[in-house]
Amino acid sequence: MRDLAAQLEARRKQGLYRARRILEGRQKPQQTVDGREVVAFCSNDYLGLAAHPKVVAAFRKAAGVYGVGAGAAHLVNGHTRAHHALEEELAAFTNRERALLFSTGYMANLGVAQALAGRGDHVLEDRLNHASLIDAGLVCGARFQRYRHATGVDLAQRLASLDATGERLVLTDGVFSMDGDLAPLPELARIAEAHGAWLMVDDAHGLGVLGATGAGSLEHFGLDARRVPILMGTLGKAFGTAGAFVAGSEALIETLIQSARTYVYTTAMPGALAEATRASLRIVQDDTKRRETLFALVKRFREGAARIGLRLMDSITPIQPILVGDSARAMALSDQLLEQGLLVPAIRPPTVPEGTARLRVTLSAAHTRGQVDRLLEALETAHEAVAPD
């Protein structure tokens, strides 16, 4: 039997131990965490919609209609008119024939891979994909490979080496959650099409943020449903609520309804939450100034970080990681910032590769310029105090 206590202690000594924090109140930049007032730079609430009055009001009103639980799976009697309307609106927003709601992004990714690939098929993934995509490829039973990060040449070579039998499914993040960089989607789409492969993009961190209308990484690159047949998006980030969806063709969505186990055998998300998401979707589409504000803050942060001499990663998105390298030093920097009332978590292996521990700064349209400047000042102080040997 494994000695769990000893393993946990080893994690502590390696600077890899994870601990939860307790948040009081709503998701917003100014928070009370573990009884302490902080400005948080770690939320994925990119547009500041998690506590938006219109979204909250929509949830409260819909809870009076639908209650607070769906009670059953979508295929039993848990599929409300609110769910159905949201699916139709998400399909229109992403310019696809249909959309299908899932309870989480993790379940959406698992469901797609399991429904479309299995024994005798092939799944190929970017090495830095989110854990949910990696797990989807592993558990579906297909033959599994990981290609070099954002490297189309490696993907093409791997596809060319496969035997002629079985389905081929290429899975990638649109925006990589720990680096903030974008997948080379036009190149991947061309390669997938040339080799008769499905291409699925998990755009959890692109939807609502990128593109002229906020429709995400595919809109940013000008890619349509023919070039990228499968799109997965989450609702708990820029949309500020919870849940996920898959969008694609009529045949794809009907196949998932019939065969995706994580859809068939799971209680539906609350109808009130679907109604709240409809409200947030309207804001995403109508309030373009939120994205303008967000990207002005990204520019301000990157320029300030460059003046300090911080090592930023190549990201145009609200995800702005500061590469540190050593896990213990990353933790020390995070602790220094917390002492100054700023919550910026250290991201360490195995979430990121060995030797690439970092501070993962995420910006929101709800942040102020003053808060960003305060973060930069604190980073300069912390960087000097915890300089490498």
Distance from C-alpha of 161 to C-alpha of 37, rounded to nearest angstrom? 55
Distances (CA, A) of 68 to 78, 103, 108: 12, 14, 22
Q: Is 79 annotated as a binding residue?
A: no
Q: Is 106 annotated as a binding residue?
A: yes
Q: Is 259 annotated as a binding residue?
A: no
Distance from C-alpha of 121 to C-alpha of 109, rounded to nearest angstrom? 17
Question: In degrees, to the nearest 5, what angle opens at C-alpha 105 toward C-alphas 102 and 111?
Answer: 60
| Catalytic residue, candidates 177, 280, 315, 334 | 177
Distance from C-alpha of 80 to C-alpha of 86, rounded to nearest angstrom? 10
Distance from C-alpha of 118 to C-alpha of 121, rounded to nearest angstrom? 6
Q: Is 105 annotated as a binding residue?
A: yes
Q: Is 351 annotated as a binding residue?
A: yes
Give yes or no: 205 in active site.
yes
* φ, ψ for residue 309, nearest 5 deg: 95, 20
* φ, ψ for residue 338, nearest 5 deg: -60, -35
Q: How far is CA 303 from the centre of its chain?
A: 25
Give yes or no: 177 in active site.
yes
Q: Where are the alpha helices (DSSP H) in 117-162?
A: 131-139, 152-160
- How is the chain split among helix, strand and coil, in percent rounded to 5? 45, 20, 40
> Which SS3 state, helix, strand or coil, does residue 345 take?
coil
| Catalytic residue, candidates 52, 205, 220, 367 | 205
| Catalytic residue, candidates 122, 237, 367, 383 | 237
Give yes or no: 54 in active site.
no
Q: Is 18 annotated as a binding residue?
A: yes
Q: Is 130 annotated as a binding residue?
A: yes
- Cβ distance 95 to 284 under 8 Å? no
CA dihedral 68, 52, 107, 322 (to 10 degrees): -150
Q: Is 364 annotated as a binding residue?
A: no
Q: Which residues are annotated as a binding site?
A: 18, 105-106, 130, 177, 205, 234, 351
- Residues labelled as active-site residues: 177, 205, 237
Residue ranges of the binding site for pyridoxal 5'-phosphate: 105-106, 177, 205, 234
Q: Which residues are annotated as a binding site for substrate?
A: 18, 130, 351
